[in-house]
Amino acid sequence: MKQSIFNSIIDLTESSTLIYNSYSDSFFIVKKEFKKLISDIQTVKHRFPHLYRRFVRTEIYVGNNVDELHNLKERYKKIANNDSNFFLMINPTLDCNFKCWYCYENHIKKSEMDKINLAKVKDLINNILETKINTFTLSFFGGEPFLKYNQIVLPLIKYTSEQCKFRNISFNISFTSNGSLITPKRITEIKNIGPLAVQITLDGNKETHNKTRFFQNGRGSYDIITKNIHNLISNGCHVRLRINYTQNTINTIKDIISNFNSATDEMKEKILVDFHRVWQDKDSMDIIPEIRKVANEFRNNGFKVLYNSLNEITNCCYADKINTAIINFNGDVYKCSAKDFTKENRDVFLNEEGQIIWNQPPQYRLSLKLDNRPCQKCRIAPLCGGGCTSFIINRKKDNQEYCLYNYDNDIIDKLILDRFETYCK
């Protein structure tokens, strides 16, 4: 037996040490003096047989002939190549009724998917449903997708639902929306067709949010968005509440909690609070301790919370999976939504028969995962995975080795301790 390359050993207190394996995602707390014994596997086996067996079971100890990197790559391939599900995202428009200062997209006023491209999308959906999938998720992005609810979104949901029912395929519906146009009528219409999940963003408390997200007449959007979130969760819909923050707005986030004082525990169960630092603010000071405090306040008030969460292998981004595609309103096709939808950025296009013509096969994109040499011996590779495939492709152009955390062991230790704290709570 040998120690796993994915082990981390971190002192917690003067008397205790944390042992963590990122492949099995397992934590152990041991007395600090035990740290010296961990590498002496035979002594552990004979003096602490119960602990030894648990170390083997959680892969802190692995067989001498085990190729852990190979196993990790195979784990990723199995997840990324899962062909039982398909995730199709549609941009009905790149128009938006807001203009948030940090948005990376160039919005196109009055843009709308025309009848020709809508027909292509329907053909594509039929082509997908003829494969061996069990579950189909139709997701809407943009722009603001609800701007084209009557023209594109609802007709496409109804059509896809009919096709899925005909083939006995499970159908899910999701949106990434600013939340301002989600009326009770629309919630009922969609929910009567299939399960609904929506990602909606807030930018802090009412005052802070309204400085970023406001209508063209200058009116703030906070009250209407929080009202619509209440309508969603009271109707049993799932909401991923993305909270964007900067070092200047982080102290206002906790005020959001009071807007959900009337929500029942069952309603709060429908919300996942997901903290994201605005990308333009990332080069400034470290504010992880502050966001940790805010996250704990949300947890203490009954919310499920994510922040600084790493899971790029077992729960990798949709763009890292083979059965995903994003169709823009003009028929261009992409794998990743975290970039401007331009001709230069597109991965492919949709032909007349509703078939996706890739510039490069999706298998090439997936083959780049864990191709970066430092990742192949990193103790958190099962969590980090070297980043999403879109990031890896961009780094591949530089042809240089890299580390997302600048090879800083202190930062990596903090990520593990944050994960441990989250599990404890």
Query: Do 341 and 205 fall into the same domain?
Result: yes
Contact, 324 vs 88, CB < 8 A?
yes
End-of-domain residue from the set 358, 379, 398: 358
Query: Do 44 and 98 fall into the same domain?
Result: no
Average pLDDT score over the chain: 92
Most confident of 40-54, 286-300, 338-352: 40-54
Q: Provide DSSP, 59-78.
A: TSEE-TT--HHHHHHHHHHH
Query: Do 42 and 92 fall into the same domain?
Result: no
Note down the domain range covering 10.
Answer: 1-66
Is residue 43 included in any domain, yes or no?
A: yes
Name the band, by pLDDT with cuts 50, 70 and 90, for residue 285.
Answer: low
Q: Which residues contact 232 (CB under 8 A, 6 or more apart)?
A: 182, 187, 196, 198, 239, 270
Q: What is residue 292's predicted lDDT score, i.e. its pLDDT?
A: 86
Q: What is residue 284's predicted lDDT score, i.e. its pLDDT?
A: 54
Where b means 16+ CB within 10 Å and e means fewer, 179-216 reads bbbbeeebbeebeebbebbbbbbbbbbbebbbebbbee
Token duo for residue 244? 């964007």
The whole-number average pLDDT for the span 34-59 is 94
End-of-domain residue from the set 358, 385, 420: 358
Is residue 366 included in any domain, yes or no?
A: no
pLDDT at residue 309 is higher than 80: no
Q: What is residue 349's predicted lDDT score, i.e. its pLDDT?
A: 79
The whole-number average pLDDT for the span 386-411 is 87
pLDDT at residue 201 is higher than 80: yes
Token duo for residue 47? 């003096």
Is residue 296 included in any domain, yes or no?
A: yes
Q: What is residue 270's predicted lDDT score, i.e. its pLDDT?
A: 97
The whole-number average pLDDT for the span 277-295 is 79
Query: Could you tell me how far CA 347 lies from the centroid of its own chain?
Result: 20
Q: CATH number, domain at 109?
A: 3.20.20.70
Token duo for residue 147? 């701007």
Q: Which amino acid is at 115?
A: K
The whole-number average pLDDT for the span 261-273 is 95
Query: Do 170 and 305 fall into the same domain?
Result: yes
Q: What is residue 105's predicted lDDT score, i.e. its pLDDT?
A: 86
pLDDT at residue 177 is higher than 80: yes
Q: Which residues contact 385 (CB under 8 A, 6 or more apart)?
A: 76, 312, 313, 316, 369, 370, 375
Name the band, by pLDDT with cuts 50, 70 and 90, for residue 347.
Answer: confident
Is residue 227 included in any domain, yes or no?
A: yes
pLDDT at residue 405 is higher than 80: yes
Q: How many other CB atoms are found less than 10 A from the CB of residue 392? A: 20
Task: Return the higher-pLDDT residue of 221 and 35.
Answer: 221
The whole-number average pLDDT for the span 58-63 is 97
Taking only the tens place, the pLDDT of each residue in 6-26 is: 999 999 999 999 999 999 999
Q: For residues 32 and 28, what is the distance between their CA atoms, to the nearest angstrom? A: 12
Burial of 341 (0-12, 13-18, 19+ CB in 10 A): buried
Q: Kindly report which listed range (72-81, 190-199, 322-331, 394-403) carries the lowest average pLDDT score.
A: 394-403
End-to-end CA distance of the chain: 33
Name the band, by pLDDT with cuts 50, 70 and 90, for residue 120.
Answer: very high
Is residue 290 included in any domain, yes or no?
A: yes
Contact, 313 vs 76, CB < 8 A?
yes
Query: Do 112 and 154 fall into the same domain?
Result: yes
Query: Do 263 and 127 fall into the same domain?
Result: yes
Is residue 212 included in any domain, yes or no?
A: yes
Query: Do 53 and 172 fall into the same domain?
Result: no
Query: Do 12 and 149 fall into the same domain?
Result: no
Is residue 389 included in any domain, yes or no?
A: no
Is residue 415 included in any domain, yes or no?
A: no
The whole-number average pLDDT for the span 399-416 is 91
Where b means 16+ CB within 10 Å and e means fewer, 342-352 reads eeeebbbbbee
**How many domains does the chain fold into?**
2
Within 13 Å of residue 111, how many CA atoms lie on the same side as its CB? 21
Q: What is residue 364's predicted lDDT score, i.e. its pLDDT?
A: 84
Q: Provide DSSP, 202-262.
A: E-SSHHHHHHHSB-TTS-B-HHHHHHHHHHHHHTT-EEEEEEEE-TTTGGGGGGGGGGGTT
Query: Do 13 and 125 fall into the same domain?
Result: no
Q: What is residue 283's predicted lDDT score, i.e. its pLDDT?
A: 60
The whole-number average pLDDT for the span 400-419 is 91
Q: Kindly report which listed range (69-73, 77-81, 364-368) carries the lowest average pLDDT score.
A: 364-368
Taking only the tens place, the pLDDT of each residue in 321-336 is: 999 999 999 999 999 8
SS3 content of the chain, % helix, strand, coil (to 5): 40, 20, 40
Task: Return the higher-pLDDT residue of 309 and 4.
Answer: 4
The whole-number average pLDDT for the span 137-162 is 97
Query: Do 31 and 106 fall into the same domain?
Result: no
Q: Provide, rounded to the nearest whole percent, the portion of the chain with pLDDT above 70.
A: 99
Query: Do 18 and 104 fall into the same domain?
Result: no
Is the pTM value of this prediction over 0.75? yes
Q: Which residues contact 129 (CB under 8 A, 6 or more apart)?
A: 136, 163, 164, 167, 169
The DSSP H or E segment spanning 404 is none
Contact, 193 vs 161, CB < 8 A?
yes
End-of-domain residue from the set 298, 329, 358: 358
Query: Do 115 and 45 fall into the same domain?
Result: no
